[in-house]
Chains A and B, each alone.
Chain A
Amino acid sequence: QQPVQSPQAVILREGEDAVINCSSSKALYSVHWYRQKHGEAPIFLMILLKGGEQKGHDKISASFNEKKQQSSLYLTASQLSYSGTYFCGTEIDFGNEKLTFGTGTRLTIIP
C-alpha cells in the first residue's frame, strides 16, 4: 500500500520554510526521500533508517518517527532550485531492496 504524502502541493515564496509529511500504514525499516524536476529523473536526497538520527544537508533535513510510522522532510529558507515534486519511498523489510513510493508533493517556489 502506498504511503500517503501531505500536502499534495504547496506554493512558497523564496526564503519561506516547508514541511512535507509521509505516513505509512505499516511498520517501516527505512524511508527514502527523492526530488524530481518536471520531465527528469528523480534525484536521491537522503535515507532515514529505523533507530537512526534525524538527517540533513544544507537546508534540507528529515526526521523519522518509527512509532507513528511517518517521516517529515523540512526545507528551510527555500530557494528557487528547491522547486519540484518530492517523493518518499518506504521500505518495510531490510534485504528485499524494494521501495513503495508515495504519490508525491509538488513544491513551487516563487521569487
Chain B
Amino acid sequence: DGGITQSPKYLFRKEGQNVTLSCEQNLNHDAMYWYRQDPGQGLRLIYYSQIVNDFQKGDIAEGYSVSREKKESFPLTVTSAQKNPTAFYLCASSIARDTSYEQYFGPGTRLTVT
C-alpha cells in the first residue's frame, strides 16, 4: 500500500539534544512538508520541499533543519535551538489535483522534550 511513514510514533529526548524525525513516502509525490501542531493552534508549516535538493522555510522554521536528498525522504531535525520543541509533528506530501493539489498526511510523531 502507498502512503507516508513517520517513525517513531512517540519520541522522548532530554533538553539540549538534537533529534531527527523520519518521514518516508512511496507515493511518488514531488512535494513534501513538515508541520507542527500544538493544542488550539492548528497546523503550522515548518519547512517544505517542492523538489529534490531544494526546500523553503515555512512560517516557524527557526530551530529546525531539513534535507531532501531523495524524493522519498524528508527528515526533520529539531535542534537544541528550538525553544519549545514538545509538540505533535506531521509530515505530508502532495500531488496535483484539479489545478491545485491534495496533501496526504503521515500518522505523526509526538515529541516530548524534558
Contact = CB atoms under 8 A, between A and B. Distances in A.
A94 B35 CA distance: 20
Contacts of B100: 29-30, 32, 47, 49, 91, 94
Given A32-B103, A97-B94, A41 B42 contact: no
Interface of A: 2, 29-30, 32, 34, 39-44, 47, 49, 87, 89, 91, 94, 97-104
Interface in B70-114: 90, 94, 97-108
Contacts of B40: 103-104
B43 A97 contact: no
B22 to A, nearest CB: 15
A5 B31 CA distance: 26
Interface of B: 31, 35, 40-45, 48, 50, 58-59, 90, 94, 97-108
A97 B42 contact: no
Given A87-B42, A101-B44, A104-B42, A41 B103 contact: no
B81 to A, nearest CB: 24
Contact of B101 (A43, A97, A100, A101): A97
Given A41-B90, A44-B104, A47-B98, A97 B50 contact: yes
Contacts of B43: 42, 87, 89, 101
